[in-house]
Copies of this chain bind each other. A is one copy, B any other.
Amino acid sequence: MSATDRLLEANRAYAETFDHGGLEARPSAGVAVVTCMDARVDPYRTLGLTLGDAHVIRNAGGVVTAEVIRSLTISQHKLGTTEVVLIGHTGCGLEGLDSNEFASKLEEETREPRDWSIAAFEEVDTSVREGIERIKSSPFLSRAESVRGFVYDVNTGALREVE
């Protein structure tokens, strides 16, 4: 049995007791969370979110790329969110990753050009600070009333604000 099949089995049990029908698409807390794809980060539990509360945008590293600006623009302009919570985390695979070395290995293995950059970073606090700056300075995201950044500790479950 593949992992995917196990997840589908779990979904059947989930749907049997599901009682959250009829929620609106508009996030009820007016928040968009941006974070890393890391398996040790569960934004709902970490932030006490319930279904319908917040948009959750995730990618490798929680890096604020043009694609994140796209998602946040739709979140603010079409679905009314006004607060952004950006969360990096300890032990991120992109922190300190040697982009050049990784790019070379990929090229060797695939012999294909990439239309995306690896977007590794040296240090998580700096990455979060840069991400906040990109969000705050984007002309598409001027509806945000609050943009704050944090580092999540995967070993304690706690958030620390990045000033």
Contact = CB atoms under 8 A, between A and B. Distances in A.
Contact of A118 (B9, B74, B83): B74
Contacts of A23: 39-40, 154
Contact of A110 (B52, B114, B139): B139
Nearest to A82: B3
B48 A59 contact: no
Given A15-B156, A58-B57, A25 B52 contact: no
A126 interface: no
B94 A74 contact: yes
Interface of A: 2-4, 6-15, 18, 20-23, 25-32, 37-40, 42, 44-49, 51-61, 65-71, 73-75, 77-79, 83, 85, 91-94, 97, 102, 105-106, 110-112, 114-119, 139-140, 142, 145-146, 148, 154-159, 161
